[in-house]
Amino acid sequence: MRVIPLLANTYLLDTLQGPLLVDAGMPQEYSRLLRYLGQTRPVALFLTHHHLDHVGGARRLWERWGLPIYAHPLDIPYISGVRRRPPFPPLPWLGDWLANSPRPVPQEALVPVEEGAEVLGWRVVHLPGHTPGQVGLLREGVLIAADALRVGRRGPFVPPPLVNHDTPQAWRTLGRIAALEVMTIYVGHGPPTTLEAVRALLRQRQAWLD
């Protein structure tokens, strides 16, 4: 596994079928992404969710290589441009323009994947809350969780409500992660974390609620 440190972490996974790229950075990071890839040509792209810092280079990667792009059906309408993303930041015109700045990915490029599907040897896990169709990849004790959680100096935390589709659902998803058989959790923003750190966060939250 290689970590490509764009605004949001992008991952290059080794598989028997060839390199699998997870997420594609911001639109303006496309050239930087290509420099990191060098001579490596991914055989497929997996999009964890529809936000601009994860799908920005997807259209141009498809135009360059014609690779299949995997995404969850609930997020595909945003990725393909059928639906507009919610404004970010929530400003009348700037937020809408920023959120929808990635070029739409053609429907023919998109391969819908749901919970339990397999993508090049990795199992798809539905991790909704941050977006309706956020998904991760699970294999041999490793979970790529994208923005289901973030990791800061004090450890993992759920993204703030401003950037979530449904924050209570994001917390429920965190509970689901805590029940998985994983050792290392890779995220979209921040360094990797552990299952025990996630469980500690949930215990802390329960103490607050009590």
Q: How far apart are CA 46 and CA 50, in angstroms?
A: 11
Give residue 208's pLDDT band: very low, low, confident or very high (50, 70, 90).
confident
Q: How far apart are CA 25 and CA 201, in angstroms?
A: 28
Q: pLDDT digits over 105-138, tens only?
A: 999 999 999 999 999 999 999 999 999 999 999 9
Q: Among residues of the chain, what percentage have pLDDT more than 70?
A: 100
For the chain, which domains are there?
2-209 (3.60.15.10)
Q: How far apart are CA 127 and CA 133, in angstroms?
A: 7
pTM, entire model: 0.96
Look at residue 167 and tell me whether its pLDDT is greater than 80: yes
